[in-house]
Amino acid sequence: MMNNSVNDNILNNPSLTISKIKFNNDKEIFFNDDDIVIFVGANNVGKSRALKDIKDDILEKKTDKVIIKEIEYKDSNFTEKNMQNFFKNNYDNEMEKNGDYNITIDRNNAQYYDKNHFKNILLNKKQFYKVLFSFLSTENRLNMTSPISYNFIEDKVSLNIMRKLEKDTQAITKLNDILNSCFGKAIDISEEVNNNSLSKLYKFGTKEEISKTINTNTREARSLLESLDDLNEQGDGIRSAVAILSSLIANEHTLYLIDEPETFLHPPQARILGNNIVELSKNKQCFISTHNIDLIRGILENKSSRIKIIKINRNENKNEFHIIDNASISRIANDKNLKYSNILNGLFYSTVVLCENESDCKFYSAILEHLDSNIYQNVLFCAVGGKDQFKIIIPLLQKLKINYVIIADLDLIDNRERLKNLLNSIEENKYAQISEAHNNFLNLFEQGTDNQIKKQKAIKEEILSLFTKDDYMSEETANKIKLTLKNISYLKLLKNTGKSCLPAGKCTMEYDKIIEFLNMNNIYVVECGEIERFITQVDGHGNSWVENVFNIYPLLEEPVYDDVKKFIKNIFNIDGKKGENNE
């Protein structure tokens, strides 16, 4: 339990936070002192670079900023007395005999503070910012858990954290409770002599073992501690997590920059870490870059108003920055139909392709990877479980600023209400822009294909002729009956035969208007009818059909794939083909 004088010191500590950032597209976003700001986006859009820009600005580096144009800071308690107390409590081991300080910021940066800095603190504010924030990159985090030799103390910030954990039983117990829930392990701090050098290091063991070493100061406890494994020799995941958690618990900084904290962690561990970052960062401000949805799920579990998620998109060489809707993320994460889908991972891709089912995703993604691996790396294919799900998911993706493309079978356009609901989910009353052409098409198609649809009498006669004298119906007979019933609707005819069955003239003209309009709104229908009709040489449906196709035609260079390649090229503007109708 901390005494009142220690509490007073913390309350009077000088603090630093960011109040506003102007990004490179001149968009300005304002922040509160305790915000948790999460940068998300596709690869290479600038998530990590945003953190580096902030760090370089604080350290007054002369390098050009890339993502961020300007930063406004908020500082408090900047008095000579408060700053002197802060340095005494945190950097006593770096004070020189004359009372000046030579502070190690990190392994590559140091700052010298003489007495005049403290006396003229209001004139030298920016120089003091350098000791009031933590930059936790992957490299820094792993360095923080390495043994520290007293002969050559390269990282005094990490040594200070070790010392505080060593002295504060409450702090290290809090840390170990989290580590135990995440990894089933705990840590303590030990001193050992190696090659005539005294080192301070983290030791690694079970919660029971560590509890003995922390709570008793006996020869037996010290011997047990020395016998445990070094944390430095464990996996990078737990080392990285220890660095983040211990810094939040033991460090008195108010501003944290954490780059991809989920690195090396399994999904459940990333979620637990995210949850605890929120808990441990109260009254602190965190800027985090991530490409992990489990970390975000863990952060959002707290339902904290502190959380701001900034989606970075890049269009050609221009960035866009959006504060996205946390409620939409939570809705997808908790929706029974979507909870276990990969749709939320679209936050980390340039485009999400929504398909009706998994077999479509498997087939089209393989074709795209073959055509253009660079585009493929930033495209996520998601199965939504049927056409009716499109209208539910699109508004959520729009709120999350996720670019999307829809690929659907041709029967998407055979139902007025279905197409109307889909288009109106994109924009209010959007269907009205194409309703006349759609109604004309459906009426003309029904009239023009009437002679191709079997009458009820003919269907009855054909089915009766299939029955045998056997007591039970064979599977062969059942399949023949199903095939007879398959084309009893002119709308079924459209899906089963594709564009080739369209009546010539006005009907085809209206159809072309619909397809062009859908393409303009990132909706692409399979004009041959359905995915299986791209390669009619192979029997089957769904997953079995896809597997059979790849088994029979393992080389994607074969001509049998030409039609589907043309379709995918059109969608992704490969070879400048976007906008052309596919067959």
Digit-coded pLDDT (tens) for 235-248: 999 999 999 999 99
| Cβ atoms of residues 535 and 560 within 8 Å | yes
Q: What is residue 139's predicted lDDT score, i.e. its pLDDT?
A: 93
Parallel, antiparallel or unpaired: strands 285-289 and 404-409: unpaired
Q: What is the pLDDT of residues 462-485, one digit of tens each?
A: 778 888 888 888 888 888 777 666
Q: What is the pLDDT of residues 258-269, one digit of tens each?
A: 999 999 999 999
Q: What is residue 356's predicted lDDT score, i.e. its pLDDT?
A: 94
pLDDT at 206 over 90: yes
Query: In 3D, which of 15, 17, 14 has the Cα closest to residue 257?
Result: 17
**Mean pLDDT score, 272-299:** 95
The per-residue b/e assignment along 306-338, b for 16 or more CB within 10 angstroms, e otherwise, is: bbbbbbbbbeeeebebbebebebbeebbeeeeb
Q: What is residue 494's predicted lDDT score, i.e. its pLDDT?
A: 81
Q: What is residue 192's predicted lDDT score, i.e. its pLDDT?
A: 86
Per-residue confidence at 149, pLDDT binned at 50, 70, 90?
confident
Q: What is residue 10's predicted lDDT score, i.e. its pLDDT?
A: 59
φ and ψ at residue 282, rounded to 5 degrees: -60, 135
Name which of 160-169, 195-204, 259-268, 476-485 the model is least confident about.
476-485
**Mean pLDDT score, 344-357:** 94
Distance CA 339, CA 327 (A): 14
Query: Mean pLDDT of all residues in the chain?
Result: 89
Q: What is residue 542's predicted lDDT score, i.e. its pLDDT?
A: 92
**Mean pLDDT score, 138-150:** 90
Distance CA 10, CA 24 (A): 36
CB atoms within 10 A of CB 377: 13
Distance CA 505, CA 414 (A): 19
Q: What is residue 374's predicted lDDT score, i.e. its pLDDT?
A: 93
**Mean pLDDT score, 432-444:** 95
Domains by residue range for the chain, with CATH: 1-132+253-323 (3.40.50), 139-244 (no CATH), 326-433+514-576 (no CATH)
| Cβ atoms of residues 480 and 466 within 8 Å | yes
**Mean pLDDT score, 20-36:** 97
pLDDT at 7 over 70: no
The pTM for the full model equals: 0.85
**HSE toward the beta carbon, residue 112, CA cutoff 13 A:** 3
| Cβ atoms of residues 290 and 47 within 8 Å | yes
Radius of gyration of the chain (CA): 32
Helix (H) or strand (E) segment spanning residue 111: strand 109-113
Per-residue confidence at 5, pLDDT binned at 50, 70, 90?
very low
